[in-house]
Chain A
Amino acid sequence: MKLLENLIGKVKPHFEEGGKLHQYYYGFEALETFLFVPAETSHGTHIKDGIDLKRTMFTVVIAMIPALLFGMWNVGHQHFLAMGELTALGDGLWDKFLYGAIKVLPIVVVAYGVGLGIEFLIAIIRKHPVNEGFLVSGMLIPLVMPPTIPLWMVAASTAFAVIIGKEAFGGTGMNILNVALLSRVFIFFAYPTYISGDLVWIAGDPSLFIDGFSGATPLGVAYLGGAEALANVAAHDYSLMSMIIGTVPGSIGETSAIAVGIGALILLFTGIASWRVMFSVVVGASVTALIFSAADLALFKDVPFYEHLLMGSMLFATVFMATDPVTAAQTTKGKFIYGFLIGVFGMIIRVLNPAYPEGWMLAILLMNVFAPTIDHFVVQSNIKRRVSRAL
C-alpha cells in the first residue's frame, strides 16, 4: 500500500493548484478517495461513525449480487429452454451461466461506463467531488433491462437518466425521480417494442426457437388467461414454485423471489433500506389485489394475491427501487403512506390498464413526485402539535 500511496503522492501535484492537469482535479480525487479513505480529521464531533456513502452504496451493490448471478444463469436457462435443449434445471449449469454472463456483463459494463463517465465529466466541469450515487444505479439499470436490449440503447437511456434525471437537479441527493427507473422509462416510451412483448425476454435467435414457444412472462400470460392459462403453458412451468425460484422469463434481475429476498434481508439487516417502505408496499399491493379478486374481474382471473406479489418486477421494485432513500418519503410516518400508495397504484396500473403490462415503474415514479408533499404534511402536523402545545 505504501507503493500505491507513493505513486499517488507523486502524481497528485500535477492535479493540484498550479499543476498542469488542475482542471481534472476532481477526476483524480475520485480515484484517490476510492483507493484511500482521506486523512481528513473531524471537525465538530471529534469522532465519527465508520459508515460513509461509499460503504452504504457498496452494501446495496452486494445486496444485488444474488439477483445478478441468478439472472445471468436464468438468461442462459431461458435461452436453452427456447432451443429445446438442457430443459431440466440442473442441466448444463455452467453452460447456462456462461451464456447469460456473455449477454449480461456487457450491459453492466456499458451502464457503469456511460454513467460514471458522465458523472466524472460533470464533476470536472462543475468542480465538485464525484458523488457515489451512481455505484448503485449502474447495477440497477442492467437488472431491469430485458436480456435482448441493444447496448446502444442502454447507453442512451443511462445518459438520459444521469443527465436529465440527476445532474440537472444538482447531483446525488438532489434528484426527485429514481434514476434507474428513468432509464427504463426512457426506453419504454422511446423504444417500446424493445422492452415489451413476448420474445424480448429470451436471448438468442428467434428463428431457432422450438415451435410454439412463446417467451411470454407469467404476467403476460395471466393478464388475459388468469390462473387457468398459467397452468397450461406448454414449454414453461409457471407454477408458484418456479415463480419463487425465478425460472421464468423476465428482466434480468427481477424473476427470482429468493434472490431478491436475500438482497432484502441484507439491506434490512444492515439498516441501509427502510423496512417501513418495503412492508407498506407489500401491504398496499396485497390489499388492492384482494379487492380486485373480490370484485372477480375478468383479468388475472383466480390469481391469488400472493401470486401477484411474485409475478413481474413487484418484489424487485419493492426492495431496490421504492426504498431509494433520496426519492422516497423521508419522514418515518411518510414512508408508510408512500409505500402503501405505491402498492395500490402499482396494482391498479397492472390490473386495470390495458396499455401497460407492468405498473411498478410508473407507480414509483408517480409517488416519487408526491413524496415531498407527503413529507410536507407530516412535518406540518409536527409543527402544529408543537405550536398548539406552546399556546
Chain B
Amino acid sequence: MIKLSRGFDIKLLGKAEHTFLPAKQPTFFALKPTDVIGVGPIPKLVVEAGSRVKAGEPLFYDKLMPRIQFCSPVSGVVTEIRRAAKRAIAEVVIEADADIQFHDFGKLDPSSVSREAAVERLLESGAWLLLRQRPFNVAANPDETPRDIFVSCFDTAPLAPDASVTMAGKEAAFQAGVNVLAKLTSGSVHLGLGPDAPAVFKNATGVKSTSFSGPHPAGNVGVQIHHVAPIGKGEVVWTIKPQDVAIIGTLFTEGRFDTERTVAVTGSELKTTGYFKTRIGASVSSVISGNLKHDNVRIVSGNPLVGSIVGNDGFLGLYDDQITVLEEGNKPEFMGWLLPSYARPSLSRTFLSFLRPNKVYHVNTNNHGEERAYVMSGQYEQVVPMDLYPQYLIKSILYSDFEQMEGLGIYEVVEEDLALCEFVCTSKQPVQQILRSGLDLVRTEG
C-alpha cells in the first residue's frame, strides 16, 4: 500500500449519478488523428467519403507508422473527412448503422497465442492504438518490447468516472485482456488499485498489483509508475486504461473489435448527469442536447484538467471516458481578486471556503488572474507526489536545456501528471503546453 500525501482533490459539482442516461445512441462517430501524439497532420486515408466500413476495418494510417491501423469503431458509411488548416485531417466522420456489423478477425486464445500473432491482431484491428507508450505518451511502438505494462484502475481527476460502474460485467473480458498484455511485455502487467477497488481488479490473475491512496494525482498511471518502477533513460513502458483492456480481451475471445465504452457525463451545467454506454468516437450531441442548463458552456471531452474542447457537435476522444460541461467564465468580476463573488477552489487558504473542507464547488473557466512571471515557489512541489522538481523542469524546457530536462525527469511525466501544477499556479503559466513542447523537442531531437 503506497500512501501519497502530496496532491490536491478538486471537489466539483456535477459528479455523474450512478444511473444510465436515457439518451439514444448517437448517429455519428469520428476518429481524430490528433488524439494520438506523433501522428502527422495528414495521415494516409484508406477510405473516402461514401465508403462503407465495418467495425474494425481501417480508415487511415500514419505514413511513418504504417503497421498501426486506425480502424472504425462502428459500422456504417463514411460521411465526411473534416479538414483543418493546411488540409490537416481533423476528423473522419462515420454515420453509424443502427445495428453494428463487426469485421470477423477470428478468435485467438489469449493464453496460447504467440507474441507475434497477438501484435499482428492488435495492429490490424485498430486496438493497438489503445496502448500508449511512456515516455512521451505516444502510440506504442510495435517494433519495441516494453519493460512493463501499467494499468491504473482508479481515476482521481475531478468528476472522473467510477470503475465500479464502467467495468461492470467486464470481468472475463478484462482478464482475457490482461492475459494478452502479459504476452506483449518482457516484464509484468502492473495494476494500480485504488481504495475500494472493485472485484474485477482485485481478482485479476497474472498481474502485480499495488494499492495506492491519496489525493489526485494518485490515480495517474505516471505517478504509479514512478513509485513502482520509475522509467529510466532508454526504457519504454506501455500504459492502457481498464476499459480498453476489456476491449482487447473481447477482440481475442470473440474475434471482433467491439469499442464499447461506458462514459461518465458530468458537469454542473447539465440538467442530468449520469453514465452512458456508447462506443469510442461517439458524438456528444446525443447526451448534451436538451440536457444543458444554458448556452454559455464549454463542452470538454475528458476531465476538466486535461480534456480537450469539443463543440456541441464534437466527438469523444479516442482515450476519453468522460464528458464534462463547464460554465464559461467570460465575464469580468468587480474586484474579484479582493472580494470574490462566488466560492472557488484553491490550494492556498486565502478564501474563506477552506473552512469547509468537504465543500463542492461550482466552477467556471475563468482564468482568475493574468499570466505573470514566476513569483511563488513550492506550489508545484505540493501537488506532484513524485521525486522531481516540476518548476525547474518547466524552466529547463523554457530555455531548451536537454541535459537538464533529462536529468529532471522529463521521461517520467506527461501533461496529465503536471496538470495540477497548471491549476494551482499563481502566475497562470501554461504548464501543460510548455511540457508538451519540451516532450516533443526531446522526442524529435533527443
Contact = CB atoms under 8 A, between A and B. Distances in A.
A41 B349 contact: no
A36 B232 contact: no
Nearest to B419: A45
A133 to B, nearest CB: 7
A51 B346 contact: yes
B285 interface: no
A88 interface: no
B368 A58 contact: no
B362 to A, nearest CB: 11
Given A46-B300, A47-B423, A54 B369 contact: yes
B305 interface: yes
A50 B368 CA distance: 6
Interface stretch (B69-77, B109-117, B177-185, B372-380): B372-380
Contact of A49 (B158, B234, B392, B424): B424
A239 interface: no
A48 B368 contact: yes
Nearest to B329: A41
Contact of A45 (B230, B304, B387, B408): B304
A172 B307 CA distance: 32
B344 A50 contact: yes
Interface stretch (B148-156, B236-244, B335-343): B335-343
Category for how many chain A residues contact B: 35 or more
Contacts of A37: 332-333, 335-337, 366, 368-369
Contacts of A208: none
Interface in B400-446: 404, 407-409, 419, 422-428, 430-433
A4 interface: yes
A246 to B, nearest CB: 27
A382 B330 contact: no
A39 B370 CA distance: 10
A44 B430 contact: yes
Given A36-B332, A45-B422, A271-B348, A172 B372 contact: yes
Contact of A332 (B230, B234, B378): B378
A129 B306 CA distance: 28
Contacts of A50: 340, 344-346, 351, 368
B370 A129 contact: yes
Main secondary structure of the interface of A (DSSP, over half): loop
Interface centre among A36, A46, A330, by most B CB within 10 Å?
Answer: A46
B86 interface: no
A40 interface: yes
A7 interface: no
B268 to A, nearest CB: 11
A47 B369 contact: no
B131 interface: no
A262 to B, nearest CB: 16
A165 interface: no
A173 interface: yes
Nearest to A46: B304
A53 B338 CA distance: 11
A20 interface: no
A332 B425 CA distance: 17
A10 interface: no
A270 interface: yes
A189 interface: no
Interface in A339-391: 379, 382-383, 385-387, 389-391
A102 B388 CA distance: 51
B408 A382 contact: yes
Contacts of A274: 378
Interface string B350-374: 1100000000000111111110111
Contacts of A53: 369, 372, 375, 426-427
A52 B378 contact: no
Contacts of B340: 50
A269 B391 CA distance: 23
A51 B426 contact: yes
A172 B425 CA distance: 16
Contacts of B378: 274, 325, 330, 332, 335
A176 to B, nearest CB: 13
Given A35-B334, A36-B332, A47 B10 contact: yes
Contact of A1 (B306, B334, B430, B432): B334
A45 B367 contact: no
Nearest to B412: A386
A142 to B, nearest CB: 22
Contacts of A379: 389, 392, 408
Nearest to A41: B365
Nearest to B338: A58
Given A45-B423, A383-B408, A39 B232 contact: no
Contacts of B409: 386
B159 to A, nearest CB: 10
A71 B345 CA distance: 36
A271 B347 CA distance: 9
B345 A49 contact: yes
A56 interface: yes
A52 B376 contact: no
A272 interface: yes
A328 B377 CA distance: 9
23 contacts: A36-B333, A39-B330, A39-B332, A40-B330, A41-B298, A44-B432, A45-B423, A45-B432, A47-B304, A47-B326, A48-B366, A49-B346, A50-B351, A51-B347, A51-B369, A55-B350, A131-B372, A170-B373, A271-B348, A326-B375, A386-B407, A386-B409, A390-B233
Given A330-B377, A332-B378, 16 more contacts: A37-B368, A41-B364, A43-B430, A44-B422, A47-B363, A47-B365, A49-B347, A51-B368, A53-B369, A270-B349, A270-B350, A271-B347, A383-B404, A385-B387, A386-B408, A389-B230
